[in-house]
């Protein structure tokens, strides 16, 4: 897998139009990556156990995408490798009245992972410079200031031992149309169709511009963004599972030493 295809260059303005949502690298079929993804998931399980045992680090995974981008299926297909006892999945929707009475990061911070644990955000604090910006929910000077707040927040987390991985699931507008149509055509998927998503679809270009600013202003070595080609779900799964494994392996974790005297214990 070409990891550099996904990792967003630091400090540069990029254009999402230059990224092929249908890119699959050297692979052409799902079957070619099936065993690779399985191997990554087995390694993810091992590394999560080590993360918990060492109790020095934590992992935060942020998933962002346009509607029907595949956030839920990514959690279902990739993150199933994690032991749910040490993994917390949070979906961030419209803020509640209580949440609106606090700063925009208040509802986020309380769900960040404790040492030894994994948190997965389905949408995140970035909604406050995406949805809020596109729909003009607050004045521009308010959401503009949030880029710096987000950078400081993520720097704080990273300095506290949290490894942050941020994935934008990049689908094309045509792929979104097909996925919406499938939700209409299949009765068991009708419940997933939200007519309001069609309004968001008309704002596609505005969202692309908002995401591009996020990648330029909030992308750092301690909290990198990956633009994941996601038209093909099987390739998406390979990219994300590979990035997670590589990030956790870089932590060079070790199991804590065994208590003294174990060699003298006899279990009868």
Q: Is residue 171 part of a domain?
A: yes
**Exposed/middle/buried for residue 202 (C-beta within 10 Å: 0-12, 13-18, 19+):** exposed
Please report whether residue 265 resides in a domain.
no
Name the residue with tokens 């309380």. Answer: 110
> Rounded mean pLDDT of 240-255?
97
Token pair 């300095």 in the structure block, residue:
159
**For residue 121, what is the domain's CATH number?**
3.40.50.300
Q: Which of 39-43, 85-89, 199-203 has the lowest mean pLDDT?
A: 199-203
As a whole number of angstroms, the distance between CA 155 and CA 135 comes to 28
Per-residue pLDDT of 101-144, as tens digits, reads 999 999 999 999 999 999 999 999 999 999 999 999 999 999 99
Structure tokens of 257?
Answer: 């030493």
Tell me, yes or no, if the pTM score tops 0.85.
yes
How high is the pLDDT of residue 169? 98
| 258 has a pLDDT exceeding 80 | yes
Q: Please state, in angstroms and rounded to a whole number, the distance separating the CA atoms of residues 234 and 30.
A: 6
How is residue 89 annotated by DSSP?
E
Token pair listed for 104: 């925009």
Q: What is the pLDDT of residues 153-211, one digit of tens each?
A: 999 999 999 999 999 999 999 999 999 999 999 988 898 888 888 889 999 999 999 99
Say if CB 86 and CB 65 are below 8 A apart.
no
| pLDDT value at residue 61 | 98
| 259 inside domain | no
When pLDDT is averaged across residues 72-96 and rounded to a whole number, the result is 96
Q: Which residues contact 67 (CB under 8 A, 6 or more apart)?
A: 176, 180, 194, 197, 200, 201
State both tokens at 34.
Answer: 């099936």
Tokens representing residue 256 in the block = 């804590």
Query: In the chain, how many H helices and how many E strands?
Result: 10, 5
Q: What is the pLDDT of residue 260?
A: 85
pLDDT per position as a tens digit, 199-246: 899 999 999 999 999 999 999 999 999 999 999 999 999 999 999 999
pLDDT value for 263 = 83
Q: Is residue 99 part of a domain?
A: yes
Q: What is the model's pLDDT at position 1?
A: 44
* Domain assignment of residue 188, given as a range: 3-251
Identify the pLDDT of residue 5.
64
| Total domains present in the chain | 1
How would you write the chain as a 3-class SS string? CCHHHCECCCCCCCCHHHCCCCCCCCCCCHHHCHHHHHHHHHHHHHHHHHHHHHCCCEEEEEEEECCCCCHHHHHHHCHHHCCHHHEEEEECCCCCHHHHCCCCCHHHHCCCCCCCCEEEEECCHHHHHCHHHHCCCCCHHHHHHHHHHHHHHHHHHHHCCEEEEEEEEECCHHHHHHHHHHHHHCHHHHHHCCCHHHHHHCCHHHHHHHHHHHHHHCCECCECEEEEECCCHHHHHHHHHHHHHHHHHCCCCCCCCCCCCHHHCCCC
Asked whether the predicted pLDDT for residue 3 surpasses 70, the reply is: no
Answer yes or no: is 256 within a domain.
no
Has residue 200 been placed in a domain? yes
* Domain presence at residue 266: no
Q: Does residue 128 lie within any of the structural domains?
A: yes
Q: Is 55 left (phi over 0), alpha (psi -120 to 50) or beta?
A: left
Predicted pLDDT at 193: 87
């Amino acid at each position: 897998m070409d990891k550099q295809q996904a990792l967003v260059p630091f400090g540069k303005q990029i254009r999402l139009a230059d990224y092929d949502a249908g890119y699959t690298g050297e692979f052409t079929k799902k079957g070619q990556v099936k065993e690779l993804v399985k191997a990554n998931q087995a390694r993810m399980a091992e590394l999560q156990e080590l993360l918990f045992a060492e109790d020095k680090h934590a992992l935060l995974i942020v998933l962002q995408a346009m509607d029907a981008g595949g956030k839920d299926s990514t959690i279902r297909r990739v993150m199933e490798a994690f032991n749910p006892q040490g993994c917390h999945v949070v979906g961030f929707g419209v803020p509640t009245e209580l949440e609106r009475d606090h700063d925009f990061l208040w509802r986020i911070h309380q769900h960040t992972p404790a040492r030894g644990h994994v948190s997965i955000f389905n949408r995140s604090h970035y909604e406050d410079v995406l949805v809020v910006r596109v729909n003009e929910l607050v004045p521009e000077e308010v959401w503009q200031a949030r880029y710096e707040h987000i950078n400081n927040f993520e720097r704080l987390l990273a300095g506290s031992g949290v490894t942050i991985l941020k994935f934008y699931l990049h689908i094309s507008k045509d792929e979104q149309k097909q996925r919406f149509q499938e939700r209409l055509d299949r009765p068991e998927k009708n419940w997933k169709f939200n007519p309001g998503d069609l309004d968001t679809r008309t704002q596609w270009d505005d969202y692309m511009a908002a995401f591009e600013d996020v990648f330029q202003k909030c992308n750092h070595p301690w909290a990198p963004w990956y633009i994941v080609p996601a038209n093909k779900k099987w390739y998406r799964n390979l990219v994300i599972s590979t990035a997670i494994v590589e990030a956790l392996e870089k932590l060079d974790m070790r199991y804590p030493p065994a208590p003294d005297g174990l060699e003298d214990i006899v279990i009868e």
